[in-house]
Amino acid sequence: VGVAVSAIEPALELYRDRFELVVAHREVVQEQGVEALLLDVGENHVELLAPLGEDTPVGRFLAKQGPGLHHIAYQVEDIEATLEKLKEAGMELIDEHPRRGIRGSLVAFMHPRSSGGVLTEIVQPAGAGSGH
Amino acid sequence: VGVAVSAIEPALELYRDRFELVVAHREVVQEQGVEALLLDVGENHVELLAPLGEDTPVGRFLAKQGPGLHHIAYQVEDIEATLEKLKEAGMELIDEHPRRGIRGSLVAFMHPRSSGGVLTEIVQPAGAGSGH
């Protein structure tokens, strides 16, 4: 689950110090215009997203609706095959082709219009995939 | 992650048929004014929430901002102890005392004001807890 925050440090105080979640990873992802921080929740993550500037997707999200839940991401084994399947199922894609995400992953977003108002992402971790 | 939907059936078409998630549980939770449906995502869940009426928390959420991400829930072992700790840490609670949630769980919500704009829930599954 991606959570949009204005800045990482105060969010860390909330999630790490009060909620006592463990920080798994921190990275500036230029391609997405964010500084991202992964916190472990079981085998899944909460991902804090702070914008690198106002004219970024998360910057515009914050300007429009303030901090809060931003998107949900599902891990897939083969992002190209999954994108193909979603397209065939009539899903509207923001990314027809995968882009680079956190930790060397490949990511693609679906449009909230076709996913019940939820910005939905698929993620293929680095090292996975069928070698397309 | 809780997702507010207008009705369960069309949401099922999206999450079960297109995203191929497995339905773990379905229940009308009168205390929360919702019909809820749990879908497995690894060891965690996406929870679809359809309101039982307009004058319910999810009904008002939908009227205000339409379908989409609603809340995030963390599993805890001892909800009373966790509430105590959160209160001491200065968190603003919607529920000072646990209420009944899905599958016989105990649940309590924190106010988004003190959790970075995110409606945040803690859940003690049925059968857990320290016997307070």
Asked if pLDDT for residue A9 goes beyond 90, the answer is yes
Region B27-37: what's the mean pLDDT?
Answer: 94
Asked if pLDDT for residue B109 goes beyond 70, the answer is yes
Q: In whole angstroms, give the CA distance from residue A15 to residue B5.
A: 27
Asked if pLDDT for residue A132 goes beyond 50, the answer is no
Region B47-54: what's the mean pLDDT?
Answer: 97
Contacts of B66 in chain A (CB under 8 A): 117
CB A43 to CB B44 under 8 A? yes
Distance from CA of B68 to the nearest CA of A (A): 5
pLDDT of residue B129: 59
Q: Which sign does the torsion angle of CA A34, A36, A41, A43 carry?
A: positive
| Strands A34-41, A44-51: pairing kind | antiparallel
Compare CB distances from B118 to A69, A74, A75 and report the shortest one's residue.
A69
Asked if pLDDT for residue A51 goes beyond 50, the answer is yes
Query: pLDDT-based confidence at B128, cuts 50/70/90?
Result: confident
Region B47-55: what's the mean pLDDT?
Answer: 97
CA angle at A91 for the pair A86 and A95, rounded to the nearest 5°: 80
**Burial call A92-118: b when 16+ CB within 10 Å, e when fewer:** eeebeebeebbeebbbbbbebebbbbb
Contacts of A86 in chain B (CB under 8 A): 18
pLDDT of residue A6: 96
Compare CB distances from A118 to B68, B74, B116 and report the shortest one's residue.
B68
Query: pLDDT-based confidence at B132, cuts 50/70/90?
Result: very low
Query: pLDDT-based confidence at A107, cuts 50/70/90?
Result: very high
CB B19 to CB A74 under 8 A? yes
Region B66-81: what's the mean pLDDT?
Answer: 97
Asked if pLDDT for residue A20 goes beyond 90, the answer is yes
Asked if pLDDT for residue A80 goes beyond 60, the answer is yes
Q: Are A74 and A120 in contact (CB under 8 A)?
A: yes
Asked if pLDDT for residue B17 goes beyond 60, the answer is yes
Region A12-40: what's the mean pLDDT?
Answer: 95
Predicted TM-score (pTM) of the model is 0.93
pLDDT of residue A43: 87
Asked if pLDDT for residue B131 goes beyond 80, the answer is no
Q: Which of A69, A92, A119, A121 to mutate to test the interface with B (most CBs of B within 10 A)?
A: A69
Distance from CA of A118 to the nearest CA of B (A): 5
Query: pLDDT-based confidence at A130, cuts 50/70/90?
Result: low
Distance from CA of A10 to the nearest CA of B (A): 9
Lowest-confidence pick of A60-69, A123-132, B67-76, B101-110: A123-132
